[in-house]
Chain A
Amino acid sequence: METARIHRRHFLIGSASTAGAIAAAGVTGSSFPAFAAETKELPDYVSWKDADKLIMHTEQTLEMKRGAGGTSVITPNEEVYIRNNLPSPDESIVADRDAWEVSIEGVNDPRTLTVGELKNIGIETVATVLQCSGNGRGFYEHETSGSQWLTGAAGCILWSGVPVRKVVEELGGLADGGNFMTSTGGEQLPEGVEEKDIIVERSVPAEAMENAILAWEMNGDEMPLAHGGPLRMIVPGYYGINNVKYVKRVAFTEEETDAKIQASGYRVRPVGVDGAPDQPSMWEMQVKSWVTHPLKDSESGRVQIYGVAFGGDKPVEKVEVSLDGGESWQDASFIGPDLGRFAWRPFLLTADLEPGDYVITSRATDSDGNVQPESTEPNHRGYDYNGWDRLAVEVTVV
């Protein structure tokens, strides 16, 4: 029972209260999040969120509990995770949302546009999986810095805004040499720190512009300040860090930015190696799925096993479910509408379970035939664990 050993180990590294929470809930082995039983008051800037559905790692990192989020594709704003690299700006920046300005550079007619002006250029809605690069960090065995996210630094969200390609067209098209789209966040920086050391500025390949939008709406609400309002860059299929909040500048640049968060941060490298610009950047997401129900002991008989699956920047084509830790697999079906290739798809397998111990996990395949791996190769910073081994849950059916 290698898998069972791994899972027990994983909740042993949580706080003492984790063990208590698991005991209290009668859970025998699912990868329950740390601090589940603690009630911490949410900070002011996210006080409107549903504290019962969230785990607070720090004031700037809130994880959605596994099993929250429901099965209707879209994650409610009150439950969407928070990972702010810098403190949320003052509420005053959303007092007059249409007045927020963004400078567009590296086009033939560079200009500063207000949100009000952007709203007149075009509107498009896109559903995307928003996922933190570190989602699943807590499943790695090596010592990693940062929040020990399990599955809940992810959600599926409908964004509305103006397509970046339309803004570029409006401003005379791309100037020569625009290899990267570089977005800069409008957070206030502290004194005594070099700007490039701390600024949230991310470059992605310029092709990402074809799907990107400058969004002012999130799931039908005005973009909450905590999620980047008044204006956020949305890069479908890319990790959360590239979806720059409070975006004040979008520049088509010849090189990637030399800001630390790009040059040495968010780089995939072997354990023990420093970050450097020649290593892969956390850009396109990879195929991934996990079960969100059941997570605890169940009655024998019919059990609805469900979860979410996505292909990153490709559509997810197939999801299989295993009840025996990967020995055998059965095809699951998708629940609900297909919201496009950047969205996730909830899946379902109905099973008739006899009493016993089960190791339940899922395995997704994308449209290119990439299959979610059994295990994820360790990387220094513990980015995106997508192996179905440790994403499994242990359930006792009585």
Chain B
Amino acid sequence: MNYFVHVANVLFLASYLVRDILWLRFLTIVAGTALLPYYFANDLHAPIAWNAVFILINIFQVKVLLLERRPVTMTEQQERIYQTVFRALRPREFLKLFQLATPRRLDDGAELVAQGEALDRLLLIEAGTTAVEVDGRAIARVGAGRFVGEMSYLTGEQASASVRASGAVQLFEWPRDTLEQFLAKQPEIRSALQLVIGTDLASKLKTA
């Protein structure tokens, strides 16, 4: 029975020598499992129970690590949007953010934002062009790869202009509350999104 103890400790030793966390946890699972026959043979119930807990925790963590390490695959549409707008994010972060968005398609003349509206969403134009209008007068155009609603998102102010589709427009829409709840738990994605929005905002203000 001591044989199992020696095998387990050699495996623990190996786990302490590796640098990759996945291998460390895997070796720890195997080492913990190797100890179980010794504990069972000696009726050591407390060590059996705790060992089982540790093994289960490590199995869960290994699963999480493997999920995080999966290759990221994007559709062509996602790849295009990622390369155009969201290069500041890591691909997996972008997909997490993208999954929160709702795609919409608007026909020519359809209104994206109404003047005076308390905007509760952030929009990204994927394809097409929109006209920004104040009191019915077009003052700017916002095209593909640009945000609509970021000023309201940042300041909480009502929209002082309306935005209308000039031709067919495809866009993605993030509800403000959903986005904020998500970003509250994902500081790295918030950081990258701030860069994206800031760059978009600065660019618009330069051309205004």
Are these two chains actual partners, yes or no? Answer: no
